[in-house]
Structure 1
Amino acid sequence: MEWLLNLGYVGLFIGCCLAGSFIPVSSDVFLIGMLLAGGNAWICLIIGTIGYWIGSMTSYGIGWLGKLEWLERLKIKKTNIAKQKKYIDKYGVWVALFAWIPFLGSMSIFTLGFYKVKPKTSATLMLIGCFFRFFLWTFILKAALGELTELV
């Protein structure tokens, strides 16, 4: 995935978009790599957030279009589907705040889409959660490097 980092901000966007979907790559690696390569903290934060959010919205959209028969063909057990439904019933749209958690987030977002849980609110909470994640990583890295003034 080094070739994505060589693409600069475009590579950051693509990498974060893939990471936000079901593709098992780490958006953190792309963000930190870009920051260490001298990328502007705010530009990296915005591009990473938007890329990850679009990837998450893709998972939501696939879930929205999904059908129970498809899940059964993929050998996903009805008991797992029922567990996800209980999870969504319990926490509702707030699950979208945690879209950034690797793999678990993608599955939760897919499930929100599958059960057609408040699209606008889900999208907004996903965006907030993704921004928080990337801001936290940016803050930690810049603090470790003694470069917090770049964030002000």
Structure 2
Amino acid sequence: MIAASFSLFFASFLSATLLPGASELLLIALLTQSPEAAGILVAVAAAGNTAGSAVNYALGYWIGRPVAERLPFILTKKRLEQAEGWFGRYGRWSLLFSWLPIVGDPLTAIAGVLKTGFGPFLVLVALGKTARYMAVAAGVQAVALW
């Protein structure tokens, strides 16, 4: 279980950075093998994903938008603009949606670019990421019961 947890943390971490990943698939596979470990697996996935988002925040904070725009393999200009739109409309509360595909990871980088306080950033992102993994776990449990 320790090796599987480490793999899940690493996959979740990478999925939250600006690189693509599929940590939900690994979580589903692990949940089907060890449904009794759902709480631990959800916590590990959420922690890894939140840590990866903190890397995005740090990149945004330290390198800023001008550098981010020159690294299209990390963050496309379109995704950056979408994330800015969300952040402009909903403020830091938009970080609750950092779990969303396409716009979620850029949102965490924009939070850094805009120098959002790290404490609120961490709380909001962790809540959003944890809710996503809890929903995945609940879905796996519902299918298993069906």
Which has more radius of gyration? Answer: 1
1-structure distance, mates of 2:20, 2:79: 21
Are positions 1:8 and 2:7 aligned together? no
Deviations 1:34-55 (A, max 9, x none): 1112251111011011011101
- Amino acid aligned to 1:25: G
RMSD, aligned α-carbons: 2.5
Q: How does 1:11-22 map to 2 (within 5 A)?
A: 11-22=7-18
CA contact (8 A) 2:80 2:106 kept: no
C-alpha deviations, 1:111-138, integer Å up to 9, x for none?
1111112221111000000110011110
TM-score by length of 1: 0.81
Q: Which runs of 5+ in 2 are unaligned?
A: none
Check whether the contact 2:17–2:56 (CA below 8 A) recurs between aligned residues: yes
Distance in 1, matches of 2:144 and 2:65, equals 49
Q: Which amino acid aligns with 1:146?
A: L
Q: How many residues align?
A: 142
Hey, what's the Cα distance between the residues in 2 that align with 1:83 and 1:38?
38
CA gap 1:87/1:27 in 2 versus in 1, 3 angstroms: same
Distance 1:85 1:44 in 2: 32
Tell whether the 8 Å contact from 1:22 to 1:103 is kept in structure 2 after alignment: no
Identity of aligned residues (%): 23
Normalised by the size of structure 2, how large is the TM-score? 0.84
Q: Which runs of 5+ in 1 are unaligned?
A: 148-152
Summarize the Cα distance change of 1:83–1:16 in structure 2 as closer, same or farther, 3 Å threshold.
Answer: closer
Contact 1:24/1:103 (<8 A) preserved = no
C-alpha spacing 1:81/1:45, structure 2 compared with 1 (3 Å): closer
